[in-house]
Amino acid sequence: MYELREFSDHHFGLYVILTLVLLAVLKLLNPWRLKSLIRFWVGVGQTEELNKPFKLSRDFSIVTFIFRGLIFGVVLSIFQNKSFHLSSFDVAVLNYAGVFMIFWGLRTFLETGFMSFFNKQESLLRLFYIRVLLKEKMSFFYGCLLFGFAFIGFGETPSILFAASYALGLLFIHLNMLKLYFRQLNAMPVYIILYICASEIAPIWLALQILKF
């Protein structure tokens, strides 16, 4: 039992170190992004961000993408195991995080490529950027909770509620972005609704079906 606990603690320590390294790298590469991440209680000025000059290398960060993937992996592990403790920080989290990054990376690539045919690529990327800022703030908040409560742990019901609150937070962010879709994409409402169903709802439904197996 002691050896098993030591093994779990060791993985937890590695995840803490990895998270701190990611935040340190982000501070070096983009201090403003780190400040926005940490101040999760401060909202994102949508109008202000939309009016800024768009620069792909500045507005999209691989560091925060990895960080979001790790948090997503831990939450998904909690949902799958219906429990949360130090041993939840295992190798499976990396697998979940890897699938998350590959899935959303390919989705974004294909989606922006498709929108480029309609000359809406930059408008779509601006919407992605605002949405990513909101998700980064939420991921940092849940990351603090995960690392803070790891030594206490959750039972089955609190674990399910915790994972459900994370999913509801993501859903709220997506729903709150709907008005920006209609304003920025400047297309017929029916096309925007079809786009949202295909790009937002369908991938989530597909992921849930995969998790059932």
Structure tokens at 47: 């109008």
From CA 166, how far away is CA 189, in angstroms rounded? 29
From CA 97, how far away is CA 5, in angstroms rounded? 23
Which pLDDT score, from 0 to 100, does residue 212 have? Answer: 55
Amino acid at 49: E
From CA 66, how far away is CA 74, in angstroms rounded? 13
Which pLDDT score, from 0 to 100, does residue 114 have? Answer: 63
Which pLDDT score, from 0 to 100, does residue 56 have? Answer: 67
State the pTM of this model. Answer: 0.81
Q: Where are the domains of the chain?
A: 2-212
From CA 191, how far away is CA 184, in angstroms rounded? 13
Does residue 23 come out as left (phi exceeding 0), alpha (psi in the -120 to 50 range) or beta? alpha
Residue 154 has φ and ψ, to the nearest 5°, of -125, 155
199: three-class secondary structure by DSSP: helix
What mean pLDDT do residues 132-154 have?
90
Which pLDDT score, from 0 to 100, does residue 213 have? Answer: 53
Angle at 90 between CA 85 and CA 96, to 5 degrees: 110
What mean pLDDT do residues 51-73 have?
82
From CA 128, how far away is CA 177, in angstroms rounded? 10
| Radius of gyration, CA atoms only, the chain | 18
From CA 141, how far away is CA 194, in angstroms rounded? 32
